[in-house]
Amino acid sequence: KNEVEQSPQNLTAQEGEFITINCSYSVGISALHWLQQHPGGGIVSLFMLSSGKKKHGRLIATINIQEKHSSLHITASHPRDSAVYICAVGIIQGAQKLVFGQGTRLTINP
Amino acid sequence: EPEVTQTPSHQVTQMGQEVILRCVPISNHLYFYWYRQILGQKVEFLVSFYNNEISEKSEIFDDQFSVERPDGSNFTLKIRSTKLEDSAMYFCASKWTSGSDTQYFGPGTRLTVL
């Protein structure tokens, strides 16, 4: 069983739509991270959350620690938001390594 | 803004050859990581490094792998005898503290083993 599960795996939407990507995890975590991976492969950190909600521009991330669930929302989506969005959890023990979900490939059509 | 850098961006090698992947973490960071991503798969943890020693390693990180911080700035991953299945994107990451903290990723090195 995967420790971090994301849904959906693929998501195609029209420009302007509200996007939601979900992440569930099954292990004890120190924090949850949302990352963006561009077509060239580079990974950029978007958010780190241990409780509540964070907002940056058109991106909003929420986490429910009791339910072990997080969501990433994109408002007024734009073609430049097309990327793979990855949920990763920081493991509470040891060196705080990240355990990654399989990613959600988002395509926003003009 | 400080960033993690990695070289080379792409390395092609023959099976059985040794490769060294290089990373320069952000200068005041203390915790260093290597992750890899096989094409089409999720990113996987390889090893973490702190205070000049390995703090944790995964099952993937067997005797063929080693890490080193030779000079206080570079952080290297060596694969002694590459296999076809080592072909992947390798990411270096670093962070400042031991607690919950953002890990900053390098751009990755794409390793192709022929």
Predicted confidence at residue B100, as pLDDT, reads 63
Q: What is the mean pLDDT of chain B?
A: 93
Predicted confidence at residue A2, as pLDDT, reads 74
Name the most confidently modeled range: A88-102, B54-68, B89-103: B54-68
- pLDDT (average), residues A49-69: 95
**What is the DSSP annotation of A51-69?**
SEEEEETTEEEEEETTTTE
- Report the residue of B44, B58, B102 to disrupt the A interface, i.e. the one with the largest count of A CBs within 10 Å: B102
Predicted confidence at residue A1, as pLDDT, reads 63
Count of CB pairs separated by less than 8 Å, A with B: 67
From start to end of A1-110, where are the E strands? 4-7, 10-14, 19-25, 29-37, 43-49, 52-56, 59-64, 69-74, 83-91, 98-100, 104-109
A31 touches chain B (CB under 8 A): yes
Q: Are A86 and A101 in contact (CB under 8 A)?
A: yes
% residues pLDDT > 90 (chain A)? 81
Q: Is the pLDDT of residue B16 over 90?
A: yes
Q: What is the DSSP letter of A6?
A: E
Q: Is the pLDDT of residue B101 over 90?
A: no
Distance CA A55, CA B108 (A): 27
Q: Are A81 and A106 in contact (CB under 8 A)?
A: yes
φ, ψ of residue B34 to 5 degrees: the values are -120, 135
Segment 11-70 of chain B within 8 Å of chain A by CB: 31, 33, 35, 37, 41-45, 48, 50, 55-56
% residues pLDDT > 70 (chain B)? 97
Q: How confident is the model at residue A92 (pLDDT cuts 50, 70, 90)?
A: confident
